[in-house]
Amino acid sequence: MTTTDPAGVLADLRAVLPAAAVVTASDRVDARLTDASGVPAAGRPLALLRPVDTAQVAAALTVAHRHRVPVVPQGALTGLAGGASAVPGALLLDLSGMDAIVRIDPVDQVAVVQPGVVVDDLARAAAAQGLFYAPDPASSDRATVGGTIATNAGGMRCVKYGVTRDVVRSLEVVLADGTVLRTRPATVKAVAGYDLTGLVVGSEGTLAVVTQATLDLLPAPGPVRGTSATFASVADALAAANAIMAGPHRPSTLELLDGVVLAAVAAHVPDAGLPTGARAWLLALTDARAGAEDDLAAFTAACVAHGALTTATADDPSRVEDLLTARRAFNPAMRALRGASLNEDVAVPRARLADLISGLAVIAARTGLVIGSGGHVGDGNLHPVIAYDPSDARQVEAAADAHRQVLDLAGELGGTVTGEHGIGTEKLGAVDAELGPTVRGLQRALKAVFDPLGILNPGKKL
């Protein structure tokens, strides 16, 4: 979908937007062509738009709708599935400049923010008022709230607090034709009509453009403390994780790294502080205000009961942060092994995690590539990372084959091809198999209701 009148589109945009909001300079447009997935742009965009408020977003979409021009909403470009990558003739709608925290309400315990607010900035602003914003995607120091809403982002605290959808109370959005609406009142309870808020969350910019969000906050938790344990096998670590999840002491974070990742992190960040010489590592954290000692004792007991080689308690906040920093080094460490990587995002029922791990070993042997795994075992969401040499054509082809096999494996185990990164363009080929024709038909029908001309992020998600 490209316009036959690009000059007319630009003229109409400049008539309704400030000059600084319509960017055509090649270097500035080129910097916004793709997200962190590395999925290449499908074509050359027409321009980059940088609105600063809802009225400007509405004006831009009104022009785009009139000319049938595709629009690709963008934030900080930290996405990992190609959801924000350019399409031919598109207007790249960069919302990162809409970065105001409108208010934090300690009585209703909500934050009202524009989509360009960085997640960590929101968390700090909430903490300054004794409140807590729970979602913590790995890129929280750069990721915008709007981007995390678009993908329904998760993170390490999902096991206790849920994903982004669970904290979004209400949204102000702009539809494809420029119509501005609010999805529901900002009350705690509201069941009049369908849940449009939940539908927009995770829609990857294909249904509407979020211009303001009302987000739930919580009272500040206690200090984070944890149990770190090593194991002789991933199977033992998974058994310990399942025992923790089956018990009464709910962790705020429950993370696993396998031996491949542990070695990669040790090589990439020698002072990371992760234990070495083990085949698996489990980190269980608690942020309970009361009963934290009981939580840690239960976590440690579960690890010991399932064959932990070592256990250690992390009481000091700096030690906990060191362990979390090491965990966050997972992806760059795996990428450094061969120079490039494909970062998967599959989720399966927790009872099938051991089958997922064994299946990944088979895929690694079959393709001759290194596949390291880790992630959020408390909710069954693993991130297998396929390391490959981008200068070796055989490895590039083998990585693409391994990618397909990993997605197929998740489906065979009753899981999903994406737990938190989204579909974008990277996983479009796997969606039909997971959802089936009836669900896919319903989704396309919903898309047509929201966006009858199909201009919002075409070629993504669906």
Does a structural domain hold residue 389?
Answer: yes
Q: Are residues 246 and 307 in the same domain?
A: yes
Q: With CA atoms as reference, report the closest residue to 314 among 222, 379, 223.
A: 223
Tens-place pLDDT, residues 408-418: 999 999 999 99
Domain termination site, one of 286, 311, 328:
328
**Edge-to-edge strand order for the sheet containing 91-94?**
22-23, 47-49, 91-94, 71-74
Q: Which amino acid would we find at residue 244?
A: I
Q: Are residues 240 and 334 in the same domain?
A: no
Q: Please tell me the predicted confidence (pLDDT) of residue 1.
A: 61
Domain termination site, one of 194, 219, 244:
219
Q: Are residues 235 and 179 in the same domain?
A: no
CATH code at 411? 3.30.70.2740
Q: Residue 6 burial by CB count (10 A; 0-12/13-18/19+): exposed, middle or buried?
A: middle
Q: Please tell me the predicted confidence (pLDDT) of residue 277.
A: 83
The rounded distance, in Å, linking the Cα atoms of 409 and 391 is 27
In this structure, are residues 231 and 237 in contact, taking their beta carbons and an 8 Å threshold?
yes
Does a structural domain hold residue 435?
Answer: no
What phi, psi does 227 have (nearest 5°)? Answer: -115, 130
Q: First-to-last CA distance in the chain?
A: 16
Q: Are residues 232 and 190 in the same domain?
A: no
Which H/E stretch holds residue 223? none
Integer Rg of the chain from CA = 22
What phi, psi does 206 have (nearest 5°)? Answer: -95, -15
Q: Are residues 171 and 149 in the same domain?
A: yes
Q: Please tell me the predicted confidence (pLDDT) of residue 39.
A: 86
pLDDT under 50: residue ranges of the chain: none
Domain termination site, one of 219, 251, 284:
219
The rounded distance, in Å, linking the Cα atoms of 111 and 105 is 6
CATH code at 294? 3.30.70.2190
Q: Are residues 393 and 340 in the same domain?
A: yes
CATH code at 68? 3.30.43.10
Does a structural domain hold residue 461?
Answer: no
Q: Are residues 57 and 67 in the same domain?
A: yes
Here the contacts of 136-141 (C-beta below 8 Å, separation 24 or greater) are: 137/78, 137/420, 138/328, 138/331, 139/36, 139/76, 139/78
Q: How far is CA 1 from CA 71, 193, 222, 301, 360, in A?
A: 10, 33, 52, 59, 39
Number of separate domains in the chain = 4
Does a structural domain hold residue 412?
Answer: yes
Does a structural domain hold residue 439?
Answer: no
Q: With CA atoms as reference, report the closest residue to 364 among 396, 345, 386.
A: 386
Does a structural domain hold residue 434?
Answer: no
Q: Please tell me the predicted confidence (pLDDT) of residue 134.
A: 98
Q: Are residues 319 and 292 in the same domain?
A: yes
* Eight-class DSSP state of 39: P
Does a structural domain hold residue 427?
Answer: no
Tens-place pLDDT, residues 50-107: 999 999 999 999 999 999 999 999 999 999 999 999 999 999 999 999 999 999 999 9
In this structure, are residues 300 and 229 in contact, taking their beta carbons and an 8 Å threshold?
yes
In this structure, are residues 314 and 323 in contact, taking their beta carbons and an 8 Å threshold?
yes
Q: Are residues 404 and 306 in the same domain?
A: no
Does a structural domain hold residue 443?
Answer: no
Residues pairing with 182 in the sheet: 172
Range of the domain at 24: 6-94
Q: What is the pTM of this model?
A: 0.95
SS3 content of the chain, % helix, strand, coil (to 5): 40, 20, 40
Q: Please tell me the predicted confidence (pLDDT) of residue 2.
A: 65
Q: Left, alpha or beta for 382 (phi > 0: left; psi -120 to 50: alpha)?
A: beta
Q: Residue 103 burial by CB count (10 A; 0-12/13-18/19+): exposed, middle or buried?
A: exposed
Give the chain's length: 462
The rounded distance, in Å, linking the Cα atoms of 416 and 259 is 24
In this structure, are residues 205 and 83 in contact, taking their beta carbons and an 8 Å threshold?
yes
